[in-house]
Amino acid sequence: MGRFVRVNLTEGKVRVENLFDYLPESVLRQWIGGRGLGVYLMLKEVDPKVDPLSPENKAFVMTGPVTGIEAGLEAGRWCSVTKSPETNTVHDSQSGGKFGPYLKFAGFDFVVLEGASEEPVYLYLENGKAELRDARDLWGRDTHATTRILMERHGKDISVATIGPAGENLAKIACIINEEGRAAGRGGHGAVWGSKKFKAIVAKPGLKPQPADPDKLKEVIREALEKKKASGVTNEALPAYGTAVLVNIINEAGIFPTNNFQYGQFERAKEISGETIAEKILVKKQPCWGCVIACGRYTKIGWPPFQGEGDGPEYETVWALGANVGVGDLGAVDKANFLCNELGLDTISMGNAIAVAMELYEKGYLPKEKLEGVELKFGNAGALVEAVWRTAYRSGIGDDLAEGGYRLAKKYGHPEIAPQVRGQCLPAYDPRGVQGHALAYATSNRGGCHLRAYLISPEILGVPEKLDPYTTEGKPKWVKEFQDVFAALDSMVVCKFTTFAYWADDLAKQLSVVTGWDVTAEEFATIGERIYNAERVFNVLSFGDGEEYDRLPERFTKTPMPAGPSAGHVAKIDEMLPEYYKLRGWVKGRPTRETLERLGLKEFADRLESEGLLPS
């Protein structure tokens, strides 16, 4: 769209800037948009050592060049980029729905939030104009109430991204919610908005982005649709059962984390599976803007004591608020999911924090009086639901839960109980039974994450080819390729589910017809490699990131899986790291000057060297 908005919250000033005056096209081609351009701007504008919840941290609300261009590319997404209060890493969090396209349709490619307001405010965007407005009447309201009030005020044809009470109360696992149920979830981005007294962005459509080659775009979209139709994942499994189709698959593989990753199978998995959701509580599919896969679910529960309706639950949510806390009651899982959406909490982090608290309590590390009547034992459905709202309001034990699972475990003297990397707890796959995925966890720049490199695809699902999940041979190469391609894909800001149907060749072709850049698959992967190295540079400058952080807790590396198909296995990170570092051109987890200069990042190599952080 050629414009972005810079909001100085301290001064209460909004400035619309010309994108191409600020960023040459050569820079845009190097970083694309979304996640990539976000980390570039963070390195340019933010001191990596900044306190994430101070006014000096910035929050970037990003789209990509493909966002909102046309249906069929799965480009109905947006991403938030900031320094995470949970991990102290540079952090991007992606969300679906329609907010990303509507931000473009309002006339803007991204928004920069800097400083901090004294009073609550929100940002209104329409027709290339931006205005900061009073949000004092919205402060304290949940995400649903906020969205509906703003729709009454500005019309139903808008999209709202907002924080809830969790973000306002600076919960480090707070997220940003759009469309009442889509979340930029991980990393505590909601707390960053809360620290700035920033409540919401309203985007009203009216403009339309134009591709460089409309005729070629039609051909590229036809090819993409054909490949998605040919994929059993994108054409059958996800449309029929949503992401929770994975529950039974992952449980049968013996890597469905149960009771805070103590076990790999959950005996009540079928009761919370995608198939059971479709049978018992599904109301309708809830696709993102322009999506033909339509994996999103809208569900309703109506049996005592749990009632409600709304978006989800997704696979990660079903696991985090189900198996990981030992709860097999679908009503309780969905109710906890609805509360997370309303209050603005990341479901993965919430489930992990509760599971950590449950293990701490059951092992006698968490004093009973601290719980104030909440019986945090595995399998207690009522305690699960109670813990969610307490976290959002930092009430009682909720004050500890709001800090996230890792800080909670550290506070009570047992950090080893938290299943985390770089302070962010892991998602729904036990790494002991998937060696490539384990390496992807350990080397994830944003902390424990399945979306930096989804090796579940080849190791479990057999896409694009079936790999032995228990072997380490060849896995570093797979992990690096996935990390690089996903980094570029996240910068286009398109859905990762497209990669079940096609890979870098098609993504590069789509990017080319939209921008006119003629990007090859090789350049596409190199862009991703540049982004991955830049993220690591930020982290090195932030807290000295490196080899000591490319690790998994001993629960995964020294304690074998106790039972099931993956019994006896551990994650063999040490076997894979040397080859991974060699492929990356890193020494002890840090990029070398040679690597950074090859990727056009000499200025970042100079910064590392000036602070004595560049490896020899």
| Mean pLDDT of the 159-178 span | 98
pLDDT value, residue 152: 98
Q: Can you give the pLDDT at residue 56?
A: 98
| In the chain, % of residues over pLDDT 90 | 97
**Which of 305-314, 346-355, 587-596 has the weakest average pLDDT?**
305-314
Where in the chain is CATH 3.60.9.10? 3-204
In angstroms, rounded to a whole number, what is the distance separating the alpha carbons of residues 120 and 112?
17
CA-based torsion, 424, 428, 432, 433: positive or negative: negative
Q: What is the pLDDT of residue 137?
A: 98
Q: Where, residue-wise, is CATH 1.10.599.10 in the chain? A: 431-610
Which residues are bridge partners to 528 per DSSP? none
What's the rounded mean pLDDT across residues 394-399?
96
pLDDT at residue 343 above 90?
yes
Which run of H or of E encompasses 606? Answer: helix 602-610
The reported pLDDT for the residue numbered 616 is 84
Could you give the residue range(s) of every CATH 1.10.569.10 domain in the chain?
247-425
Q: Is 335 exposed, middle or buried (0-12, 13-18, 19+ CB in 10 A)?
A: buried
CATH of 431-610, one of 3.40.50.300, 2.60.40.10, 1.10.357.10, 1.10.599.10: 1.10.599.10
Q: In the structure encoding, which two tokens stand for residue 170, read together? A: 């600076």
SS3 state of residue 62 = strand
pLDDT tens sequence across 407-458: 999 999 999 999 999 999 999 999 999 999 999 999 999 999 999 999 999 9
The pLDDT assigned to 370 comes to: 86
In degrees, to the nearest 5, what angle opens at C-alpha 345 toward C-alphas 344 and 348? Answer: 150
Give the closest residue to 325 by CA, choosing from 458, 419, 190: 419
- CATH number at 3-204: 3.60.9.10
- Residues 388-394, mean pLDDT to the nearest whole number: 97
pLDDT surpassing 90 at residue 67: yes
Residue 305 predicted with pLDDT over 90: no
Q: Cβ of 516: how many Cβ atoms within 10 Å?
A: 13
Evaluate if residue 17 carries a pLDDT over 90.
Answer: yes
Name the nearest CA neighbour of 487 among 437, 448, 549, 444.
444
The reported pLDDT for the residue numbered 26 is: 95
Asked if pLDDT for residue 303 goes beyond 90, the answer is: no
Give the tens place of pLDDT for each residue, 549-586: 999 999 999 999 999 999 999 999 999 999 999 999 99
Mean pLDDT of 241-254: 97
pLDDT, residue 527, reads 98
Could you say which architecture CATH assigns to the domain 247-425? Answer: Orthogonal Bundle (1.10)
> For residue 197, what pLDDT is reported?
98
Tens digits of residue pLDDT in 480-512: 999 999 999 999 999 999 999 999 999 999 999
Pairing relation of β-strands 198-204 and 306-311? unpaired
Give the residues across from 263 on adjacent strands: 258
Rounded to whole angstroms, the Cα distance separating 581 from 583 reads 5
pTM over 0.85: yes
Residue with the bigger pLDDT between 373 and 107: it is 107
Residue pair 313/281 in contact (Cβ under 8 Å)? The answer is no
Per-residue pLDDT band at 373 (split at 50, 70, 90): confident
What pLDDT score does 516 carry?
96
Q: How far apart are CA 248 and CA 275, in angstroms?
A: 9
pLDDT at 206: 96
Label each residue of 88-130 as H, E or C. Answer: CCEEEEEECCCHHHHHHHCCCCEEEEECCCCCCEEEEEECCEE
Strand boundaries in 452-587, DSSP class E: 586-587
Q: Say yes or no to pLDDT of 369 above 90.
A: no
Q: Is the pLDDT of residue 253 over 90?
A: yes
pLDDT digits (tens, 9 = 90+) for 281-290: 999 999 999 9
Average pLDDT, the chain: 97
Helix (H/G/I), strand (E/B), else coil: 183? strand
